[in-house]
Structure 1
Amino acid sequence: MISIVIPVKNEESVIEKTLLKLKEIKTLDYEVIVSDGHSTDTTVEICKKYADKVIEPENPQKTIAAGKNAGAAVARGEFLLFIDADIIIPEPDILLNKVLSYMQSDPSILGVTVSLRVFPEMQTFLDWVIFGAVNWVHYFRNNWIGSGSSSGEFQFVRHEAFKQIGGFEEKFAVGEDNVMFWRLSRIGKTRMLKKLFVYHTGRRAHIIGWPKLLYQWLSNSFYLAFRNKSSMDKWEPIR
């Protein structure tokens, strides 16, 4: 079984489309788990129509990592797939079968990610350039030098390996996705399947601008590498 875990907070504008697309999965055993971060809109109501489980914690989760871990804690699958609320997996039945077959072909592969693309109708030239570079970095690190790296939009991992590394580091407000993949690469292999891709909105770059987002990415990478902490106390939701 594949357990698909989606952390959400005030995602009423995008989450229904994401969940409906997952309904196209026909040949795989899977469950959808939504982990809510105290939404104040109709997100929870929408998710309850489509998801198998909706987690509503009594106290607000401090980080996205905590929300992901809460979802993983109730997951029944041998494999976990973490995606964002604004992700669309094109032909999800075909793509997930390819990822699953790839992982089953080599038990030492503990995590797989894929390429990221902004929806064509939303994509700017800078989106194409920068996310193209991000995809190349993930491919180089995972497939060439064995230093796990992945954005949080799509992370397909073995459940037992995820438990072995302690899940996501909840003290990190941002960067928990990259750190999780790096830890997996310390005990096995991680891979990036560059010919497979998912779509996302690119909304953070579009709203705050690429210069600011690139600065946040670079400063956070520095803090994680040399200070073992995030550069920010909170990763502000962008909606």
Structure 2
Amino acid sequence: MKISFVVPTRNSARTLAACLGSLRTQTHPDVEVLVVDNKSTDATVAIGERFADQVLQWGPERSAQRNHGTKCSTGDVVVFIDSDMVMEPHLAAEIAEKFAAEPGVGALVIPERSFGDGFLAQCRRLEKSLYVGDAAVESPRAFRRELIEELGGWNEDLTAAEDWDLADRTREVATIGRVETYIWHDEGHIKLRATFAKKRYYGRWIDQYVSMHADSSTKFTRTALLNKPGRLLRHPVLTAGLVTLKATEAAGLLLGVRDSRAANAR
């Protein structure tokens, strides 16, 4: 079973070598790696050319990049990876084993943990650990080719919540399984100002996603953060930092939603 990994990029030089290097050292014998770049101005393309089977140019955003990567890939399974993620070496092998053993499963969730520099990255690491196994938050990344094609791929009108949208559509037509091997997300050095700006940008698409999925409220309430109070109580300082981080993100999203509504009202 051939596994194609599609990695959208834009100025991803800081993390891309680690990401692609982890894909090139997979234990599964039949792995294809595609980088789909969107006009990077740093060393992203050069790094991609060192590691990937194909380096493509496409845009304007990551949903379109992923769809183009799917079109150009040749694997029986397509796995969508972000450029700041590092894969454990047995990931592709476990994906192939799961799909072979469970023919009724059309997509797989890959659990995620994070790492990074500084206090807020440690807060994020605590947060991500609470989400493992929470179906309201986790979304599938590995798809049988026939399923992702049947779904029509990623919604190119969404640049935020596009993973939840695809997960919602997948659940309507297929069974979603999961693997035990982790993806490790490189958070880098988290800064509140940059986090706020990023969430404000993503907030433009939140209204659109909510209007498309009436049952989407659990995606934003993050009940998983309250379902394991013992873990939060064991880390009171990190929990306090996490509260600050989530409040900053919420403020950015709300302002982004307001910006979108104001623009649409003109």
TM-score above 0.5, yes or no: yes
| Alignment map for 1:17-166 (pairs within 5 Å) | 17-57=18-58, 61-90=59-88, 92=89, 94-119=90-115, 124-138=121-135, 141=136, 149-150=138-139, 155-166=141-152
| Alpha-carbon contact 1:205-1:213 (below 8 Å) kept | no
CA drift of 1:96 comes to 2.0
- Checking the alignment, whether the CA contact within 8 Å between 2:66 and 2:154 is kept in structure 1 is yes
Moved more, 126-135 or 47-56: 126-135
The TM-score normalised by the length of structure 2 is 0.70
1:224, CA displacement in angstroms? 1.2
- 2:251 maps to none
**Gap regions ≥5 residues in structure 1:** 143-148, 234-239
Partner of 1:190: 176
> Structure 1 residues 205, 221: closer, same or farther in 2, change over 3 A?
farther
Q: Distance in 1 between matches of 2:53 and 2:157?
A: 28
Question: What is the CA–CA distance in structure 2 between the aligned matches of 1:49 and 1:161, rounded to whole Å?
Answer: 31
Question: Match for residue 5 of structure 1?
Answer: 6
Q: Deviations over 1:187-221 (max 9, x none)?
A: 1111233x421111224854547778788889965
Equivalent position amino acid for 1:35 in 2: V
Residue 87 of structure 2 aligns to a residue in which SS? coil
Query: Counterparts of 1:206 and 1:18 in 2: how far apart (Å)?
Result: 22
Q: Which has the higher helix share?
A: 2
| More relative contact order, 1 or 2 (CA 8 Å, 6+ apart) | 1
Q: Give deviations 1:92-119, integer Å, cap 9, x for gaps.
A: 2x22212221122122211112221112
Which residue in the other structure is 1:236 paired with?
none
User: Which 5+ residue runs of structure 2 have no aligned equivalent?
Assistant: 214-255, 261-266
Q: Where do 4+ consecutive residues of structure 1 move more than 6 Å?
A: 209-219
**CA-atom RMSD in angstroms:** 3.0
Instruction: Answer whether contact 2:161 2:205 (CA < 8 A) is retained.
Output: yes
